[in-house]
């Protein structure tokens, strides 16, 4: 069952002119837009172990044009290994509710705010879309400062991959040691099995959408071009 955690009030206050889609509202003359902005609840990060089926089917679909998909869903697996070789694993998901922070940033603020220097961390993210430029740079800095942390990011789609700042940030992220991959059909099936709510006593098989393989190859080619 999903839970909600309040983010810091300072962060929310610092973004007064942000829309739900993460874009600046340059024109607040429209009374309806202003009314919607004022009525937004405080910024929240949604967390849980399994996300609803309809969220997965819509948000993780690897379409070329992601109209209406204004959130990031981040499913994570954290494996912490001690000197004795024993591994402790945790998993869950994060969803950014509004524009004040992103799921990638929330992960380091709430799930893994600090790394025990006595442990080695292997983290895997399955994200509905790749990080924005700001998040990619934040992740790169974290990896540079945390030598006992390894991160693999598997993205369903590439966010704004044509933008020069996004492309440069993804390259810096890879140079910092992050492994970046586009999600294959098998990865979507893994998320379905391990992170999506199933009906009690009846686990349904993953049914891939028609163009899942075609879109994977499309994004795989784009990512390879960015990182070359």
The residue assigned the tokens 């540079």 is 144
Closest of 88, 85, 80, 12 to residue 45, by C-alpha: 12
CB half-sphere exposure, 199, CA atoms < 13 A: 5
Rounded CA gap, 94 and 3, in Å? 10
* Spatial contact of 135 and 22, defined as CB atoms under 8 Å apart: no
- Specify the DSSP element, H or E, that contains 92: strand 87-96
Active site residues: 104
Specify whether the backbone of 47 is left (phi greater than 0), alpha (psi in -120 to 50) or beta: beta
Both tokens assigned to 78 = 């954290």
Q: What are phi and psi for residue 211, nearest 5 degrees?
A: -105, 25
């Amino acid at each position: 069952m999903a839970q909600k955690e309040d983010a810091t009030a300072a962060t929310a206050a610092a973004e007064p002119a942000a829309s739900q889609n993460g874009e600046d509202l340059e024109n607040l003359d429209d009374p309806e837009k202003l009314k919607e902005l004022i009525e937004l609840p405080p910024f929240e990060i949604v967390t849980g172990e399994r996300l609803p089926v309809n969220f997965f089917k819509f948000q993780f679909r690897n379409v070329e044009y992601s109209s209406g998909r204004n959130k990031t869903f981040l499913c994570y697996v954290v494996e912490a290994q001690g000197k004795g070789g024993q591994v402790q694993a945790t998993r869950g998901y994060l969803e950014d509710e509004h524009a004040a922070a992103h799921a990638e940033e929330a992960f380091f603020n709430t799930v893994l705010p600090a790394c025990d220097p006595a442990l080695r961390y292997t983290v895997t993210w399955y994200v509905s879309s790749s990080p924005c430029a700001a998040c990619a740079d934040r992740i790169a800095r974290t990896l540079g400062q945390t030598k006992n942390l390894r991160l693999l990011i598997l993205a369903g789609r590439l966010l704004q991959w044509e933008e020069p700042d996004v492309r440069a940030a993804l390259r810096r992220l890879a140079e910092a040691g992050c492994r970046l991959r586009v999600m294959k059909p098998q990865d979507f099936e893994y998320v379905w099995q391990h992170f999506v709510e199933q009906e009690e006593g009846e686990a349904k098989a993953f049914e891939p959408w028609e163009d899942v393989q075609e879109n994977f190859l499309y994004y795989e080619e784009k990512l390879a071009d960015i990182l070359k």
